[in-house]
Amino acid sequence: MTFEEYVLTRGPALVRLARLLLADDHRADDLVQEVLAKAYPRWARIARADDPDRYVRRMLVNARNSWWRRAVRRREISLAGVDALPASPSGVDSADRDALWQLVAALPARQRAALVLRYYEDLDDAAIAEILGCSAVTVRTHVMRGIAALRAKVGPAGFPSALPMRSKP
């Protein structure tokens, strides 16, 4: 697969992933562009890898983490205009979905990344561990703590159907 073919087929999915990780459309577009610019000169090596998509996702997560480390880039998360949210689960209206997304956006970066990669990208623990650069046990811990934090904020009278149950790998 050529670089151009990859960008045409996987580009929109990378932008959606970046929007979920950053919760800012414009910065997500910039992040994907930056990652693809770094991937282009190395594309022959990346394409020979077992799963080039996993490699580029990891580049995206790493670049996102680097952006957050830079003090100049730090600012409040703006959720206005986020249109890349996954389809609503049955029984959850858009107001509940927006409220849930705000709670997810407030999670620590590693927990949010683990939840997005697990429930939006539908990756298993091993794939997420490779992307985040940690062990599968750490991934499960991030997911468990993220869901626990969401459930604690939502409470029993909230919209519990929107929160996934802890699944065994």
Phi, psi of 168 (to 5 degrees): -90, 140
What parts of the chain have a pLDDT lower than 50? 71-73, 75-86, 88, 160-162, 165-169
pTM strictly above 0.75:
no
For the chain, residues classed under CATH 1.10.10.10 are: 94-162
3-73: which CATH architecture?
Orthogonal Bundle (1.10)
- What is the pLDDT at residue 158? 62
CA distance linking residue 6 with residue 80, whole number of Å: 29
Sorted by sequence, the CB contacts under 8 Å of residue 66 that are 6+ apart come out as: none
85 Cβ partners below 8 Å, 6+ apart? 20, 97, 101
**What is the DSSP-derived secondary structure letter of residue 81?**
T
Decide if domain 94-162 falls under CATH 1.20.1250.20.
no
Q: Report the pLDDT value the prediction gives residue 156, as an integer from 0 to 100.
A: 63
Can you tell me which residue has the tokens 């100049």?
72
List every span in the chain annotated with CATH 1.10.1740. 3-73
Do 17 and 25 meet the contact criterion of CB atoms below 8 Å apart? no
